[in-house]
Amino acid sequence: MQQLQTEPGRFSNASELNALLEAFARYMPLASAIESFWLDPKSRQAQSWSAHRDINEVMLATSLVPEGYPDQSLLSDCDTHYLNSGFDRARSRLV
């Protein structure tokens, strides 16, 4: 949304994108509720978590450290190390 405001000429469909982002923004509080729920160790004992634990851990980690989810092919070795340490920090919150 910031780029739409600061560089409106960069996007040929800026008004359409802005409308979609504004519609999506109303769901942002839901992210915090979901994160809080799954950060609770009791919630992670549920069958719905353990049945797909590997996927759920990655998805929760990416929600906690969203800047750590870029296209890894564009990262240097140093960036990859930083990314992995971010995921490790997020994962430690799950234990």
Using pLDDT thresholds of 50, 70 and 90, give the confidence band for residue 51: very high
User: What pLDDT is attached to residue 94?
Assistant: 58
- What is the per-residue pLDDT across 62-94, written as a single tens digit (0 to 9) for each? 888 766 555 555 444 544 455 555 556 655 665
Nearest to 84 by CA among 69, 94, 64: 69
- What is the per-residue pLDDT across 17-50, written as a single tens digit (0 to 9) for each? 888 888 888 888 888 888 899 899 999 999 999 9
CA distances (Å), origin 37, targets 24, 33, 43: 21, 6, 6
Q: At what angle do helices 53-64 and 77-94 cross, to 10 degrees?
A: 110
Nearest to 91 by CA among 64, 67, 55: 64
Task: Record the pTM.
Answer: 0.50
C-alpha torsion angle, residues 42, 62, 56, 76 (rounded to 10): -130
Handedness of CA 50, 54, 58, 64 (dihedral sign): positive
